[in-house]
Structure 1
Amino acid sequence: MTIDKSCITLQNRRCPEFIKGLNSFIEIAKNHVDDEGKTCCPCIDCVNMFRHIVTTVYAHIHDRGFEDSYLIWIHHGEEYPPSHLDNLWASKYRSTRVVAEENPHEEMFNVIDDVMAEEDPHIENISQEATALDPEFDALFEEANTELYPG
């Protein structure tokens, strides 16, 4: 079965083709969840480095778009074609994936995911003040996302 991935490159994330492609992807993603019901998120920001519940993945992709380079959905059931160059790329990518999974902040992001999962991901136009949990928490969260050595 060939998977239509044309929605990945669409800029208009509100057009029917994008929504149809996103829904197709979500159906595939539902079959590739871990014990906690989370799957890799291929949005522009997460780039399959973080796992979220399926509704959060839907919201991320809808709001941010697909990572353009995620053409072979290896985290969602596809396998690499038997090509020497692809195998070289795969071994390099897997090694960076292992390093990313050892990120000590990953646990914090999982906790935040669990808290945020209770919110409706389809609600739009929420003011910044309504989403702030606590100024001290926000400062810690921003600090956790700041590069120690930029560049």
Structure 2
Amino acid sequence: MDKAWMKLPRYSPEYINGVEVFLNYAYTKGNPQGVEILCPCAKCHNAFWRTRAVVLDHLIGYGFEKGYDVWVRHGEGLINLMDLNGDMDDREDAIDDIDGLLYEQFRDVAQEENGVGEGPNEDAKKFYNLLEDAKQELYPGCKNFTKLSFTIRLYLLKCLHGWSNASFNALLVLLRESMPQLNIPDSLNKTRGMIRDLGLDYKKIDACPNDCMLYWKDHENDTSCHVCGAPRWIENVEGDRQLEENKKAYKISGKVLRHFPLIPRLQRLFLCSKTAGSLRWHEEERSKDGKLRHPADGEAWKDFDKCHPNFANDS
């Protein structure tokens, strides 16, 4: 299917006609919920069900979500589209490159096997465990998924669609009961363990219910907010009684901040050969003709480089 119209101006007749083609396809080949389909605009990100008229307005007003060239949520399959295009580069990008992911994430460990570098023992254990999972078939004879790739895809769906922990656990139980040969983790905790080993984890930090402060660093062990005095823990009489009976200390935080550390994620981006080049592009490949083409051409960027010359010298 020709999709060149997706790159045209959003208010051009060709683009609007193309959106109508998409809507006809989504309502015939996709899986509409009554009169609604998932809206793939840059604002809704395939997360909200909308009527045809609303989707039409959104796609003209906001355009398609960036990268949504394959309408996988509206009836189009990856394999069929690749066969139609015959584009080998797109074919390689569409396939889950689990081996490449593991190598980029644990490059030191992989190089140690060849006598190049020296990787930490803990990382080596994670690498070998994940490598083993990446080799295991999802079920006997399965060619499209491994245990690791399927688990990652399943957890991605949980995050994208807001599945509760209980519903995810129930889904795992149902899948294992209906297909005993299915090689998947038996709980959310084990699934998260695999995701955590890939370096995609986050850190929980208790916060004041009124957003005054974080219980972090010097305040890590505080029991109340030093600004408003609000208690750190939720009072639960029934729970307190149970705690006294069980003599087990377990407290519930009033509010929790989930922090995704920036530095480890930047390190992973630079570990990946495909993204490292893009991250250095502003210094190594950008046109430096004095015209304002990129944030690096702006005065704010230049002032920052002057204040931090050592940082600026290493792209």
Query: TM-score, normalised to structure 2's length?
Result: 0.29
Match of 1:58 in 2: 56
Shift of 1:33: 4.2
Which consecutive aligned stretches of 4+ in structure 1 deviate over 4 angstroms post-superposition? Answer: 82-85, 89-94, 148-151
SS in 2 for 1:29: helix
Q: 1:68 to 1:36 in 2, by over 3 A?
A: same
2:132 counterpart of 1:86: no
Alignment of 1:2-151 (within 5 A): 3-10=1-8, 12-31=9-28, 32-81=30-79, 85-88=93-96, 95-102=155-162
Supply the distance in 1 between the matched residues of 2:34 and 2:159 (Cα, whole angstroms). Answer: 21
Asked if the contact 1:29/1:54 (under 8 Å) is kept, the reply is no
**CA distance in structure 1 between the partners assigned to 2:14 and 2:47 by the alignment:** 26
What is the Cα deviation at residue 150 of structure 1? 8.9
- Letter of the 2:3 counterpart: K
Identity %: 26
8 Å contact 2:41–2:55 — kept in the other structure?
Answer: yes
CA contact (8 A) 1:49 1:97 kept: no
Larger radius of gyration: 2
What's the C-alpha RMSD, in Å, of the aligned pairs? 2.9
Higher relative contact order (CA 8 A, sep 6+): 1
TM-score between both structures, scaled by the size of structure 1: 0.56
CA deviations 1:39-91 (Å, max 9, x no partner) are 11111111212221121111110111112301111011111127565232796
Do the aligned partners of residues 87 and 50 (structure 1) sit closer, same or farther apart at CA in structure 2, a change above 3 Å counting? farther
- The one-letter amino acid of 2:157's match is R
